[in-house]
Structure 1
Amino acid sequence: MLGRRLRTARRRAGLSQHELATALDKDRTMVSHVEGGKKFFSLEVVIEAARILDTSVDYLVGLSADPAPASSLVAPGVPDASTVRDLPGIRWVEVRGLAAAAGGGATVLGEEIEGYLAFRREWLASRGIDPTQCVVIDVMGDSMEPTLPEGSAILVDRGQRRRRDGGVYVLRGEDGLLVKRAIRHRQGWVMASDNPAHAPSPWQPDAEVIGEVRWMARSIR
């Protein structure tokens, strides 16, 4: 539905795929894939596309047949859960304001919701991920590079807190929030960094596992 509606709204606005992609700071191929139903935009991009095309988010995602920009999927300001509705094939995951540190620790997991990211239901289900147990936060520091570069967005599955050898986790320890890889040695568990410049350290006895990192994304520029 999003693809067909996006194409209709774009043509009505007199824009080419290249022009819309430029306005959205996206590649033309991405717009083509979304219009063809092969990919999805994040909620933030859908909202921006609706603004550029002078239509409503509800129209683009198939909740309304009226293309007039009357309502939005997300209320103005910081959205809350009651303003976000799941769509066929899509689930939304909260984006929290505070980052987790791959290096020196951040303080605590932010309670403020900055927005939402869209994930395909099929992708989540195939990996056994419950989106209601997930949160998206940013990575600070370089200790998990090149796997998780600084500034990466990560999907943290708070339903998966049991340590798995080789798994990457967000932890709350004496240094605040950290992102580390769990490695099991004969001597016990170790908090390891993927960046060889950062030495591994014994697993902190009081470290609380917030959740397992299941996905990441980053800007290429």
Structure 2
Amino acid sequence: MTFPGEDLDSETLTHGQSSPAHDVTTFAGRFALALRGESPHAFSKRSGISGTMVRKYLDEGSLPGLDKLLEIAEHTNVTLDWLAANRGPMRPGSTIMISGGSGTPEGFVSVPKLDIRPSAGAGSMAVYEESEPDIFAFREEWLRRIGVSPKFARLMVAQGDSMRETINDGDLMIVDISIREFIGEAIYVLVYGGLVRLKRLQLLRSGVLLLKSDNREYATEEVPLAEQPELIIGGRVRWAGGAI
């Protein structure tokens, strides 16, 4: 099983707002994502690659030669395979897979896989932690950097396309299960209307809670104050295998 790399901007997650979507199927999209908001001019000065070439890579999607690919990968802290061909993890060394019986290397912590299901009765949920022969371990420092305490980090698999292109069906997510209430606009795993949802929540001044989908084919849902006790938050998404 292959686990996507560190595709998510930790500062974006901390502030609960999404960064612009990047098409990681193109080199230009991967390069833009790797820059993590840094301007082409600043990257050019830092890396020594001419500004003209940087803009050509970003605007025209031209694929650099191997020497320039290596320089870009080194200066953006991404793997060469991911940058050149969208293969393997984006970031080096953020996660490893541990076979059954193996110990967790120093500096890494194992992250259990979580399954959230609606329970009988309005506004309730059942939480199951799955035990698998192969589990994933993440660098403790990286988990803290994206804003989640290792003991509250859980791994989940996204289902459905309501959050496409931010989070796609089948993407792996790290969910902070210490967050069980709305704390600001962000993406949450929740149970509402008898269904497990993955939604971006926004609170209006009127007190109405909006359930927003990043896929524009889905309409925004309104949860009035009277119905909000029926909405149960299971955790906040802090990282996903897609580009947030």
Question: Per the alignment, in what secondary structure is the counterpart of residue 122 of structure 1?
Answer: helix
1:95 equivalent in structure 2: 113
1:39 equivalent in structure 2: 93
* Residue 191 (str. 1) matches residue 211 (str. 2): yes
List runs of 5+ in structure 1 lacking aligned partners. Answer: 1-26, 31-37, 48-73, 76-83, 101-106
Question: Aligned AA for 1:142?
Answer: D
- Deviation, 1:199, is 0.5
1:215 equivalent in structure 2: 239
- Deviation, 1:98, is 6.5
Deviations 1:32-88 (A, max 9, x none): xxxxxx4255225xx4xxxxxxxxxxxxxxxxxxxxxxxxxx23xxxxxxxx74432
* Residue 132 (str. 1) matches residue 151 (str. 2): yes
Query: Among 189, 209, 228, which residue is 1:170 paired with?
Result: 189
Question: Per the alignment, in what secondary structure is the counterpart of residue 151 of structure 1?
Answer: coil
Q: Distance in 1 between matches of 2:95 and 2:236?
A: 24
Question: Per the alignment, in what secondary structure is the counterpart of residue 42 of structure 1?
Answer: strand
Q: Distance in 1 between matches of 2:94 and 2:190?
A: 31
Asked if the contact 1:145/1:194 (under 8 Å) is kept, the reply is: yes
- Deviation, 1:108, is 5.0
* TM-score (normalizing by structure 2): 0.51
Question: Aligned AA for 2:96?
Answer: S
Count of aligned positions: 146
Q: Distance in 1 between matches of 2:115 and 2:181?
A: 25
Question: Per the alignment, in what secondary structure is the counterpart of residue 210 of structure 1?
Answer: strand
Higher relative contact order (CA 8 A, sep 6+): 2
Asked if the contact 1:99/1:140 (under 8 Å) is kept, the reply is: no
Query: Among 199, 214, 222, which residue is 1:180 paired with?
Result: 199
Q: Distance in 1 between matches of 2:117 and 2:180?
A: 19
Q: Distance in 1 between matches of 2:221 and 2:107?
A: 42
Asked if the contact 2:116/2:234 (under 8 Å) is kept, the reply is: no
Asked if the contact 2:116/2:196 (under 8 Å) is kept, the reply is: no
Asked if the contact 1:172/1:208 (under 8 Å) is kept, the reply is: yes
List runs of 5+ in structure 2 lacking aligned partners. Answer: 1-78, 83-91, 119-124
Question: Aligned AA for 1:159?
Answer: S
Deviations 1:86-124 (A, max 9, x none): 432111101235689xxxxxx854443234221111112
Alignment of 1:1-221 (within 5 A): 29=81, 38-39=92-93, 42-44=96-98, 47=99, 74-75=100-101, 85-96=103-114, 108-114=126-132, 115-187=134-206, 188-203=208-223, 204-205=227-228, 206-217=230-241
- Deviation, 1:125, is 2.1
Question: Aligned AA for 2:130?
Answer: E
**What is the identity percentage for the equivalent residue pairs of Structure 1 and Structure 2?**
25
Distance of aligned partners of 1:90 and 1:144 in 2 relative to their CA distance in 1, 3 Å threshold: same
Deviations 1:104-148 (A, max 9, x none): xxx854443234221111112223412222211111111001100
- CA RMSD, aligned part only? 3.1
